[in-house]
Structures are given as structure tokens and as C-alpha cells.
A and B are shown apart, each in its own frame.
Chain A
Amino acid sequence: MGRYKGLPEPVGATEERIGVLLVNLGTPEAPTYGAVRRYLAQRVFRAVLIERTPRPHQPNPVDCLAEALAAGESLILFPEGTRNLDDGLLPFKSGIFHLAKRQPQAEFVPVWIENLGRVMPKGALLPAPLLCTLSFGPPLRLAPEETKTQFLARANAALLALAPAD
């Protein structure tokens, strides 16, 4: 999991990012997201398509992610679940906990991306060509008796520990 200002951050997929990008992609109601975006999502980023708010007959997003992990893939998730517009870290969405519950052997590697929010803040048309720095932390695993609150807090702290001093 990771975070940067602006766009949400990695490990796992953010519900938000994947949702916005992908659900619109595949649906006929949104023809404006034409071939280029579909190509980027499917061929370049190899995104896992999930529903933001699945109806009963539709697949559960966590199932889709767990399936990809079980197939030996790695996922990039943005556990804040949205674009963070401020300094610091937003509380994590519970998706990574449910995913960890389903795939307890999965390792969650915290990644802090410094500067990405300044490169392309929400609503910006052009990216500012700044240098970004990735900091990787030691991987986390869900402990046997760990509760949702505990795991999310631990993951949040692991990520914050990678933030630069100022």
C-alpha cells in the first residue's frame, strides 16, 4: 500500500481509482472513455476491473482482487481510497483488511511516493515534471488474531514511517 498527495497510493487497488477508471471503461453508458483508456487499463496497467458499488448479482470487489492474488499476480492498491488533497495520510478503507483475511499469506509492502501529488493534483491538465521518490518499507502480513482496526492502524503507521521528516 502506499500514498502520495493528490492521487491515491499503491499496494492493492484503490476502490476509488480502480472503480472510477475501470467501471466506466467497460460500460456502454460511458462511450467517451474510448479505446485509449481501455487499452491503457487492460494492456498497460493490467487493471483488475471491479464495481464500485456492486449489485447483488455482480462479483464482490474483494473476490476479484483475491482471485488475482491467488493467480500469482501482484496488486497495487491505494488504501486511502481517494485522492488525498492535504498533507498526511487519510484513514485507510477496509478493503485491504478483507483482502488480507481472504489471502492471509499475502504480503503488503508499504510504498510512500513523495511528490506525486504535486506532479498531478486533482483537476490539473498538465503534469509538472518533478522527480518522485519511492520509499519501500518491510512487508506486513495479517496476524492471526488481528482485528480490522488493528491491522488498518498498523498498515497506516507502517506507511507514515516512510514519510520524509518534514
Chain B
Amino acid sequence: MEPQDSLLTILGAVFAVLAVASLIGALLKRRISPRAPHGTLDNLNARLMAWWVMIALLALAFWAGKPGVVGLFAFVSFQCLREYISLTHTRRGDHRALCWCFFFFLPLQYYLVAVDWYGVFSILIPVYAFLLLPISASLGRDTTHFLERAAKVQWGLMICVYCVSHVPALMTLAIPGYDGRNVLLILFLVLVVQSSDVFQYLWGKLLGRHKLAPAISPSKTVEGLVGGVLSSTALGAGLWWITPFNPWQAALIALLTSVLGFFGGFVLSAIKRDRGIKDWGSLIEGHGGMLDRVDSLSFSAPVFFHVVRYWWTP
């Protein structure tokens, strides 16, 4: 199949699933609670509505090609970093370091993806931002909680920019026999990771009995985790034909990315708990903020990228 055909097939299937889900959501709402608000159902329908928009944006970016994908994820990073820094305690002395993050390191990281300069892309934030940001903060002459503040800014940049930028970086991998299809790798990763979140939510709502870690995330259950990870692993295996992997490789990689994605959400939940908040923001109705939606992607993208780069590129 031509790459465009595969893309259209998969996106068509996703939209079909969304249409069915939206229909069920609307029917349930009409059956159970036509007028009065209903917490779970209204949230479900809001989430579904947001999925339409998110998948449409992703499809639009794919259609625009590499610049579209790089632009979309640069925006995702920007929004995540805003949410993260807004809810993290930094002080006036960090202002210059924050401006460097938003106006220098973020655009430069995505520029490096766009021009395919892997050598600098892979060390810009872990090495150069790591050294330059504390220098900038120290010039703010405020030593209160200095180490803590420097660590928070670096951590935000890693999670929101460095890790997320590995999604569009999949476009730069030269895989023999897979020319012009790299966008399908992104589709594979996004579908596996995001479907894992959705499957965890569904299995948790249907069968969830045993809370996994109420201190960190009250909604996560053992049943949800196992069901979600297994379902998305099966989905990943079923999508092997759009990837350079064979079915069992696709299953293993889907398993790995789902588990990492789960822990991405888990770790960021721990931070939210510590800060006393439920969501990172309110950008996406029903889901919370951008960072609530891509926390799992952030943890799985770099590992997925390196697995493919190590074993599938010469």
C-alpha cells in the first residue's frame, strides 16, 4: 500500500471509531440523563469532542508534511512548558532563564529537528541548556532555593521540549525500504500511547476494583493498567503493516511504549499531587491541560525513537 493510502485508511478508521463512540456517548446521555448534568457522561462526551479536534489537527499536520508535524509539536511543547512553569514555583531571578527556555531553546530544538541535525539535537538541552540556564539564573542574584529552582526549570525543559521533540524527530530517521513513510511511525506511536490511555480509562471504569496507588492517582487501577497495556499492545501488533517491524516486534515495541506511557502519566500525577492540583491546565475540555494529554507521549517518545534508530537504521 502507498504511504498516503495507509495514512488515509488508519485515520479513516480512527474517525470511524470516534464517530461510533460519539454516537454511543450521545445515546447514553439521552437515555440516562437527558437534562440534568451527569459527571461521568458529560466528561466522556467532552473528551470525545476534544479527540475529534486533536485527531483533526494531527491529520492536518500529517497532510502538511514535515513542517506541519514539526510546527504542531513545537506548539505542543510550548503549551506544555507554559502549563508546567505556570504551576511550578520559580522566582523573579529565574525570569531570564525562563525567557531563554521559551524563546531560544524551544525554537532551536525544533529547528534542529527541521534541519535534521541529530548531533546537536540530542545534546542541546541535556548539555547546553543544563549549563547555561543555571548561569543565567545565578545572574539573577537570588540564592533562595537555587538548586531546587534550577532543577525545576531543567526538568520542565526536558519533559516538555526535549522529550516531546522526539516525536517529530521520527521524521528524520532514514530507514532502508521505508522512504517517505516516516509519518506512519508517528501515527503508530501516537495511536499506541494515546489508545493505551483510553483503554486504561475504559478498563478502569468497567472492571477497576483494586486501586494502584491512591496517593498518586485515585483513578488508576490494576485492572485498568493491565487491560489498557494489553489492549494497546494488541492494537500495536495489528498495526505492524504500517511500520518497518514484523508483528511480534510491533507487539513488543507497543508493550514497551505503553508501559513507559503509563509511567509518564504516573510521574506527572505525582508532581500534580505534590503541587495540590488535579490538572495542568484547562486548554482541552474534559482532559485538562496539554500536558495532561501528552505526559505519556513525552516518556515514551525518546525510547521509541532510540529503539527504531538503533535497530532499524544503518
Task: Give A residues with C-beta under 8 Å from B.
Answer: 5-6, 85, 115, 117-118, 121-122, 124, 126, 128-132, 165-166
Contact = CB atoms under 8 A, between A and B. Distances in A.
B103 interface: yes
A120 B91 CA distance: 11
Given A121-B95, A129-B82, A166 B103 contact: no
A166 B95 CA distance: 20
B106 to A, nearest CB: 10
Please indicate which of the listed interface residues A85, A126, A130 has the most CB atoms of chain B within 10 Å of its own CB. Answer: A130
B90 interface: yes
Contacts of B306: none
B85 A5 contact: no
B102 interface: yes
Contacts of B96: 124
B86 A131 contact: yes
Please indicate which of the listed interface residues B91, B92, B276, B281 has the most CB atoms of chain A within 10 Å of its own CB. Answer: B92
A165 B275 CA distance: 10
Interface of B: 78, 82-83, 85-86, 89-92, 94-96, 98-99, 102-103, 276, 281
Given A165-B276, A166-B276, A130 B95 contact: no
Please indicate which of the listed interface residues A85, A121, A122 has the most CB atoms of chain B within 10 Å of its own CB. Answer: A121
Given A121-B92, A129-B82, 19 more contacts: A5-B92, A6-B92, A115-B86, A117-B92, A118-B94, A122-B92, A124-B95, A124-B99, A126-B99, A126-B103, A128-B85, A128-B95, A128-B98, A128-B102, A129-B78, A130-B82, A131-B86, A166-B89, A166-B276
13 contacts: A121-B92, A122-B92, A124-B95, A124-B99, A128-B98, A128-B99, A129-B78, A129-B82, A129-B102, A130-B85, A131-B83, A132-B86, A166-B89
Contacts, number: 39
Contacts of A126: 99, 103
Contacts of A124: 95-96, 99
A105 B201 CA distance: 53
Closest 9 A/B residue pairs (Cβ):
A131-B86, A121-B92, A128-B98, A130-B86, A126-B99, A121-B95, A124-B95, A129-B82, A131-B82
A131 B91 CA distance: 15
Contacts of B102: 128-129
A118 B83 CA distance: 13
A124 B103 CA distance: 14
Contacts of A128: 85, 95, 98-99, 102
Nearest to B91: A118
Contacts of A131: 82-83, 86, 281
Contacts of A166: 89, 276
B143 to A, nearest CB: 15
A118 B99 contact: no
A98 to B, nearest CB: 31
Contacts of B94: 118
B277 to A, nearest CB: 10
A132 B86 CA distance: 7
Contacts of B91: 118
A166 B89 CA distance: 10
Contacts of A115: 86
Contacts of B85: 128, 130
Contacts of A118: 90-92, 94-95, 98
A110 B276 CA distance: 24
